[in-house]
Amino acid sequence: MYRTHTCGELRLSDVNKDVTLSGWVQRTRKMGGMTFVDLRDRYGITQLVFNEGDDAALCEQANKLGREYVVQAKGRVCERSSKNSHIPTGDIEIAVTGLTVLNTSLTPPFTIEDNTDGGDDIRMKFRYLDLRRAAVRKNLELRHRMTMEVRRYLDSQGFLEIETPMLVGSTPEGARDFVVPSRMNPGQFYALPQSPQTLKQLLMVSGMDRYFQIVKCFRDEDLRADRQPEFTQIDCEMSFVEQEDIIQMFEGMAKHLFKELRGVELAEPFQRMPWSEAMKYYGSDKPDLRFGMKFVELMNVLKGYGFSVFDNAAYIGGICAEGAAHYTRKQIDQLTDFVKKPQIGAKGLVYARVEADGNVKSSVDKFYPQEALQRMKEAFGAHPGDLILILSGDDAMKTRKQLCELRLEMGNQLGLRDKNKFACLWVVDFPMFEWSEEEGRLMAMHHPFTHPKSEDIPMLDTHPEDVRADAYDMVVNGVEVGGGSIRIHDPELQAKMFEILGFTPERAQEQFGFLMNAFKYGAPPHGGLAYGLDRWVSLFAGLDSIRDCIAFPKNNSGRDVMLDAPAPLEQAQLDELNLVVALKDEKKG
């Protein structure tokens, strides 16, 4: 056999056992007549010892080992004289009596260690080497444990795991689809699913009652730290439920995951916040509540004093950073440069310090008497030593989003975004629709199958822009980890929704006739939620990006640099698919 034990298994209780280990050479060290080799596999590292005095040939063989050679070592477990408390096997070593090189290795392009010298690009190209690093492997182990706990929890709640197809029809109302040409149906295309939304609703019509699936989804959209073109959802749907039933079920699952995977007990119900309140006080539908700095609107406090920037503004608001009055002018200038970045877009920043004597010292002192500044201080509930930061603009929503970025930056600078602290909430009462300047019409904020709040249904005919949805997102530490809604199950209401979204009856029938027809055969009230598995794992692992909890991720351009994909097809394949590729001339637009 290649091994009797793994490289992370042996302890002092195994001393004097004859064992066989197999793995990769992490490093070798020669000290006098002794050679030490760290042997690594998925389970850990064990030190091998070769003594020139016992077997010179064997020791010479060990001296020729290179990094990442695959070897088999036979020997006896001994107690180490110089123990290593940093690894579980640090009390023992193997006195080697036999060594077999199973495979040699080129010198890796970067060190296979936690603190590697490899940059992102090189590690992505050689991802199979990067996965040997314990830091990355642990993320995949966490991902495995999470999927097991998800299945265990949902199975205990009566859910059935049911697979849905990967080749489906295009859904133009969502993000861009990845499309797949059909050889057997020339000129026609499948789409890869953005989510199994309509299919899981059909399962509810089928009477499955409680469904889940850990499923791959695909969206052809711009990438960022928490997005990949293909990602994994924990997709769930339930029948005969209202919003409260869904929230209770999946808050329970979140608490189960926190307890089992992080050892964190969350006894209190998660906070709930209407979307309108989240946007008003945090400028985001996924506020990070690990710290304060709630927005304070200052329109009635700071207008009318001759400072044209404020007098002409449609919105004036600010945050109070407790204990940050020590910020220097240089630090304030750096914050000003931060909010002026093109991706944020503010025109400037006004600041005010609350002095030890209670007076307020501001960058716009010449426009404001101390009496006005004191009213501003009172609006924030500020105290001596606090720093007030203010933004204004001609668009309230846009300015709040800028203020949100400033708030998060201050949270980072003041060390308030502790990755070992968790603030969970439900954002509820989302708008049903949002206006699209590009399309020139109302669009579904979530998707066309979301049920409006019952009390708002009469406004569908008069003020659809004011209608709220039975929709909900779970937010943890400023990250949306999941969301869902109660679905429309009435075919007449679904037809009305398509009408508001600009669908003709013919187009609605063409795109979603299968679902609307199914509703005519007794659809139960139903709703669901989808968690982002990648986001949950990255959150629990304390990562800033979901990339390192995915075995083979894409880069920021959506490319797999290891497989060199996407890539052109050979002409024979294009001919077989009845495709002609005509690239757009970028100069002509």
Q: What CATH number does residue 19 fall under?
A: 2.40.50.140
CATH number of the domain within which 309 lies: 3.30.1360.30
Q: What does the pLDDT read at residue 356?
A: 96
- The 3-state DSSP class for residue 104 equals coil
The string of DSSP letters for 16-58 reads T-EEEEEEEEEEEEEETTEEEEEEEETTEEEEEEEETTT-HHH
* Cβ count within 10 A of residue 503: 18
In a domain, 434, yes or no: no
Which among 393, 417, 441 is the end of a domain? 417
Q: What does the pLDDT read at residue 173?
A: 60
- The 3-state DSSP class for residue 138 equals helix
Q: What average pLDDT does range 292-320 have in this prediction? A: 96
Which among 56, 88, 103 is the end of a domain? 103
Residues with Cβ within 8 Å of 89's Cβ and at least 6 positions away in sequence, in order, are: 7, 8, 9, 10, 11, 44, 45, 46, 47
Mean pLDDT of the chain: 94
Q: Give yes or no for residue 545 having a pLDDT over 90.
A: no
State the pairing for strand pair 471-476/360-362.
Answer: unpaired
CA distance 39 to 294: 52
Structural contact between residues 233 and 195, judged by C-beta atoms closer than 8 angstroms: yes
Q: What does the pLDDT read at residue 587?
A: 58
For residue 356 the two structure tokens come to 């030890």
pLDDT (tens digit per residue) in 370-405: 999 999 999 999 999 999 999 999 999 999 999 999
* Cα distances (angstroms) measured from residue 551 to each of 83, 540, 541: 34, 17, 14
pLDDT (tens digit per residue) in 69-90: 999 999 999 999 999 999 999 9
Q: What is the pTM of this model?
A: 0.91
In a domain, 3, yes or no: no
Domain coverage including residue 58:
12-103
In a domain, 172, yes or no: no
In a domain, 97, yes or no: yes
In a domain, 469, yes or no: no
pLDDT (tens digit per residue) in 44-53: 999 999 999 9
Instruction: Tell the residue number behind the tokens 């954002």, with chain if given.
Output: 427
pLDDT (tens digit per residue) in 567-582: 999 999 999 999 999 9
Structural contact between residues 320 and 388, judged by C-beta atoms closer than 8 angstroms: yes
In a domain, 255, yes or no: no
CA distance 524 to 490: 9
In a domain, 219, yes or no: no
pLDDT (tens digit per residue) in 422-474: 999 999 999 999 888 877 888 888 888 999 999 999 999 999 999 999 999 99
Q: Give yes or no for residue 174 having a pLDDT over 70.
A: no
Q: Where are the beta strands (DSSP E) in 89-159?
A: 92-103
pLDDT (tens digit per residue) in 111-134: 999 889 888 899 999 999 999 999
- Burial label for 35, CB within 10 Å (0-12, 13-18, 19+), is buried
Q: Give yes or no for residue 586 having a pLDDT over 70.
A: no
pLDDT (tens digit per residue) in 337-374: 999 999 999 999 999 999 999 999 999 999 999 999 99
Which among 417, 434, 462 is the end of a domain? 417
Percent of the chain with pLDDT over 90: 87
Q: What average pLDDT does range 246-274 have in this prediction? A: 97
pLDDT (tens digit per residue) in 191-214: 999 999 999 999 999 999 999 999
Q: Give yes or no for residue 588 having a pLDDT over 60.
A: no
Structural contact between residues 505 and 495, judged by C-beta atoms closer than 8 angstroms: yes
In a domain, 148, yes or no: no
CA distance 119 to 125: 10
pLDDT (tens digit per residue) in 488-505: 999 899 989 999 988 888
Percent of the chain with pLDDT over 70: 98
- Of 88-102, 150-164, 303-317, 439-453, least confident by mean pLDDT is 439-453
Residues with Cβ within 8 Å of 302's Cβ and at least 6 positions away in sequence, in order, are: 310, 316, 368, 372, 376, 390
For residue 195 the two structure tokens come to 């989510």
Per the structure, how many domains does the chain have?
2
